[in-house]
Amino acid sequence: MIDISAEWRESFPNASFGVLLMKKIANYPVCAELSAVRSETENGLRSLYGGKTRKELRATSPFAEYETYFRGFGQGYPVLAQVESVAIKHKPIISPSALVGAMFIMELKNGLLTAGHDFDLLMEPLTLDVGGGNDSYLALGGRDRKVQDGDMLLRDGRGILSSVIYGPDDRTFISENTTSVLFTVYGVPGIQASCVSDHLRDIEALVGRFSPGASTSVLKVY
C-alpha cells in the first residue's frame, strides 16, 4: 500500500511507519461509547504522569524519542504538551467527532504521533519520503507549510498528506461524512515497530466500539 523511497530508507534505517485502513465506518459528532474510555484515559494519564515535571516527562519513553527528533528541527513534541495539559493541568480530552476522538485518545494514551485522513479523498500511490527542496502543502487549519529539509513526510498522487513536524494536510481531513479512514503513525528512530502495531490495534478496537460494522482492510507496519 505504501511505496518507500530509497532516501527514506537511507535516512531512517531505525524508524518505522504504520498504517491502518478501515472502511464502512459510521462517524458521529458525539459518541456516548467513547465517554468511558475518554474518562479512563484522562484518569490514567493523571495517575501516571500527574506528579511529574515537564523535564521528567521528556525523559519518559516514547516522549524522549520524539523530543529528540523534534528538537533536531528546533521544535518540541506537541503530543507531550497535550499529555501535560491533560495529566498536569487537568484539562479534558476534546475532539470534533468520534473518529477523531478514537485517534486522539489513543495518541495521548500511547504517546505515538498519529494522523488521520479520509481515504476517499486520497489518490494512490502513497509514498513515504523525506522533505527537501520546495516541498510544501496546506496543513490542517489552512496553514501553508514548507516541509523542513530532512523531515519525514507522506505524499499521495495529489501532494503531501503529512509531515512529522507540521502534521496532516487540510485536503483530506476527517469529517462527519468520512466512511473510510487511513490512520498513519510515524515511528521515529528509537520507537519499536511492535509499539506502532499495538497502537494501531488499540485504535482499531476503539473504532469498533462505536462503529461495529467497520472493517479493517490494512494494518501494517513498514
With beta carbons less than 8 A apart as the criterion, state whether 181 and 12 touch.
no
pLDDT at 31: 79
Three-class SS of residue 183?
strand
Region 2-221: CATH code: 3.50.40.10
pLDDT at 33: 80
With beta carbons less than 8 A apart as the criterion, state whether 62 and 80 touch.
no
With beta carbons less than 8 A apart as the criterion, state whether 112 and 147 touch.
no
C-alpha dihedral sign at 82, 88, 91, 93: positive
Q: What are phi and psi of 7, to 5 degrees?
A: -65, -40
Q: What are phi and psi of 176, to 5 degrees?
A: -65, -15
pLDDT at 67: 97
d(CA 73, CA 58): 16
pLDDT at 32: 81
With beta carbons less than 8 A apart as the criterion, state whether 149 and 132 touch.
yes
pLDDT averaged over 10-residue windows placed end to end, the chain, 222 residues: 97 97 92 89 96 91 97 97 95 94 97 98 97 94 96 98 98 96 98 98 96 97 98
Q: If we measure between CA atoms, which residue out of 51, 81, 50 comes closest to residue 66?
A: 81
Residue boundaries of the structural domains of the chain: 2-221
Q: If we measure between CA atoms, which residue out of 98, 129, 111 comes closest to residue 198?
A: 111
Q: For 43-51, which contacts have Cβ atoms below 8 Å and span 24 or more sequence positions? A: 44/109, 45/83, 45/86, 45/87, 45/108, 45/109, 46/86, 46/87, 46/88, 46/90, 48/87, 49/83, 49/84, 49/87, 49/88, 50/87, 50/88
Question: Which residue type occupies 141?
Answer: G
